[in-house]
Structure 1
Amino acid sequence: MPHLRISGMERQHIMHMSTALIDTLARLVECPRDHFTIELQHTEFIFDDEMDANGYPMVEVLWFARDKLIQDEVATQITDAIRAQLANDDIDIGVRFTPLSQRDYYENGRHF
């Protein structure tokens, strides 16, 4: 488990960065690689009654909360990986963390 929900990016960019990113994040959070998931969410940006082509990548990280220094480094690594794929230093990249309670997270009917 950490689960990354990514929107505002193309599938091939996410696929291309996924191996190296998960390798890095697994070391940072001390979690096995196979506990990570990446979910691509379809996104359409709308502004003033029109489709807006100026959307930007957004990553939501759902996880059991870690130390703030680890969270900061995870955000940096995700941002750097996306920026490298998009080759655009001017685009905004959002990373949002959603902490989950082990008591409220179930896998195969059992909580952690």
Structure 2
Amino acid sequence: MPHLLIRGVEVDQVRAVSTAMVAELAALCQCPEDHFLLECLQTAAVFRGETVASYPFVEVAWFERGAEVRDRFAEIVDRHLRSSGIPEMEIAFRVYREDQYYANGERLGPVKQEDDPSALRDELRNLQEANGRLKEQLRKSAAKTVTKSDSAMSSRLRDALRE
């Protein structure tokens, strides 16, 4: 990972720039060169009933590394591929999450708490218990402050206790 899906570019054009491009991308991403996969997809584009050349497009599937790295990554890919004679192209990023990516059946990252229903239930129960304790403390505090001559509780305090 990263995985570059390249379409609308000839295999020989990608091969000619691949070594230098991957070396530069690996340095940027701080990962080994063998983590990169370049795939040249042979596609057929159709326009107005005719087969036409596919527009040069690179889809980068990766783990997010931030806007600065993403911008630099796109610049490196664009510079190298366009140096092979491509006048224009587009690049898009598809972001994978480590906790949803598997290699050889093993998840690469820990499950995020927001994706674990049991963790969410536990968190909700803990918050409800804390809320109950706060309500009880508020009720006791209010009871101590009410004097005999002021037996009517303020409506705001009463509303807070009802919640």
TM-score by length of 1: 0.91
Q: Partner residue of 1:64?
A: 63
Q: Secondary structure at the match of 2:55?
A: coil
Show the 5 A alignment for 1:1-112.
1-53=1-53, 55-86=54-85, 88=86, 91-112=87-108
4+ long deviations beyond 2 Å: none
Give the letter for the 2:49 counterpart: D
Give the letter for the 1:62 counterpart: A
Give the letter for the 1:95 counterpart: I
CA distance in 1, matches of 2:67, 2:30: 15
Higher relative contact order (CA 8 A, sep 6+): 1
Q: Which runs of 5+ in 2 are unaligned?
A: 109-163
Equivalent pairs counted in the alignment come to 108
| Residues 62 and 93, structure 2, Cα contact 8 Å, conserved in 1 | yes
Q: Which runs of 5+ in 1 are unaligned?
A: none
TM-score by length of 2: 0.64
Q: What CA deviation, in whole Å up to 9, does each residue of 1:43-78 have, x standing for no partner?
A: 11211111123x321100000001101100100110
Query: What RMSD over aligned residues (CA atoms) do the two structures have, in Å?
Result: 1.0
Give the helix-richer structure, 1 or 2.
Answer: 2
Q: Secondary structure at the match of 2:80?
A: helix
CA distance in 1, matches of 2:61, 2:31: 14
Q: Among all aligned residue pairs of Structure 1 and Structure 2, give the percentage whose two residues are the same amino acid.
A: 36
Give the strand-richer structure, 1 or 2.
Answer: 1
Larger Rg: 2
